[in-house]
Amino acid sequence: MTTAPVFVSDALRDARPGDTVTLDGPEGRHAVTVRRLRPGEPVVLTDGEGTGAAGTVTALQDRDRLMATVARVWHEPPRRPWLTVVQALPKGDRGELAVETMTETGVDAVLPWAASRCVTQWRGERGAKSLAKWRATAREAGKQARRVRFPSVAEAHTTREVARWLQAREAFGVVLHESATEPLAAAALPAEGDIVLVVGPEGGVTDAELAAFTEAGARPYRLGPTVLRTSTAGTAAAAVVLARTGRWS
């Protein structure tokens, strides 16, 4: 049985079974010229915000337009507990790697963090391009993982902004830190509300940053006996949380 590919469509708000939906633009071009879909083949469409539609390709127009007849529409509510990763900015393309694997794992939101020990800093045009890459990565990884609700990627935050955000969020806050005595795998995680994982840069979280996050209500936890890179720590921690809160069951 062929697995139906997933494409993003903004025409699903009022879609009903039996409707015909047009997929055009870059997504339509990818479906027609790259995936080479043909009439009769299954397809899944999503708006990336919780709505999905399963259907069948009924017609092709030119090289960038596809029509599909909707067979089923569903709406996925926000998952609980809601999981956000505050991700320190890694060097090079490791930020996209982190976003990709966290999306595939099931993270609901990513908040880029300009920690004091980050070598990379998002400023001006470079920052805008980096943010766009993270958001595009979340979108493409969401499609690959067959998600109908893609993770949001916020603007980059300073340490002070992250602390304020944590305090206002009233979430179960976790700062991954190698000196912590309590393992994340033994933490009493909530079944509802928000969980926030703070992942530091390669150089580590400074004492001042840890103090700011602790004052905002977060607590330090260690992930395991080894120190992971910043681009993999968030994914590993998310897996622990998602398994222990029942979201993977």
Contacts of 136 (CB under 8 A, 6+ apart): none
Distance separating alpha carbons of residues 220 and 67, to the nearest angstrom: 51
Amino acid at the residue 117: R
Q: What is the pLDDT of residue 62?
A: 85
- Same-domain status, 90 and 211: yes
Find the mean pLDDT for residues 143-162. Answer: 97
- Number of folded domains in the chain? 2
Q: Calculate the average pLDDT of the chain.
A: 95
% of the chain at pLDDT higher than 90: 90
State how far the alpha carbon of 247 is from the alpha carbons of 29, 36, 73, 98, 243, in Å: 35, 35, 22, 20, 6
- Same-domain status, 67 and 100: no
Find the mean pLDDT for residues 121-135. Answer: 94
% of the chain at pLDDT higher than 70: 99
- Same-domain status, 86 and 180: yes
Distance separating alpha carbons of residues 148 and 130, to the nearest angstrom: 24
Integer-rounded Cα radius of gyration of the chain: 20
- Same-domain status, 224 and 101: yes
Is residue 18 in some structural domain? yes
Residues 96 and 134 sit within 8 Å (Cβ to Cβ): yes
Contacts of 183 (CB under 8 A, 6+ apart): 221, 222, 223, 224
- Same-domain status, 129 and 207: yes
Q: Which of 75, 108, 123 is the last residue of a domain?
A: 75
- Same-domain status, 197 and 93: yes
- Same-domain status, 64 and 86: no
Q: Which of 75, 96, 120 is the last residue of a domain?
A: 75
Distance separating alpha carbons of residues 142 and 146, to the nearest angstrom: 6
- Same-domain status, 17 and 113: no
Half-sphere exposure for 197 (CA within 13 Å, toward CB): 31
Give the CA angle between residues 163, 101, 114 to the nearest 5°.
30
Find the mean pLDDT for residues 35-41. Answer: 94
Q: What is the pLDDT of residue 79?
A: 94
What sign results for the dihedral spanned by CA atoms 128, 132, 133, 135? positive
Task: List residues bridging with 172 in a β-sheet.
Answer: 195
- Would you say residue 1 has pLDDT above 60? no
- Domain holding 221: CATH number? 3.40.1280.10
- Same-domain status, 42 and 140: no
pLDDT, tens only, 68-81 = 999 999 999 999 99
- Same-domain status, 196 and 106: yes
Find the mean pLDDT for residues 135-154. Answer: 97
Please name which of 121, 238, 111 lies closest in space to residue 169, comparing C-alpha atoms. Answer: 111
Distance separating alpha carbons of residues 38 and 68, to the nearest angstrom: 10
- Same-domain status, 112 and 227: yes
Find the mean pLDDT for residues 75-94. Answer: 96
Distance separating alpha carbons of residues 236 and 17, to the nearest angstrom: 39
Is residue 249 in some structural domain? no
DSSP 4-25: PPEEE-S--TT--TT-EEEE-H
Q: Which of 75, 101, 123 is the last residue of a domain?
A: 75
Domain extent for 35: 6-75
Is residue 112 in some structural domain? yes
Is residue 1 in some structural domain? no
Q: What is the pLDDT of residue 13?
A: 85
- Same-domain status, 95 and 179: yes
pLDDT confidence bin for 188, thresholds 50/70/90? very high
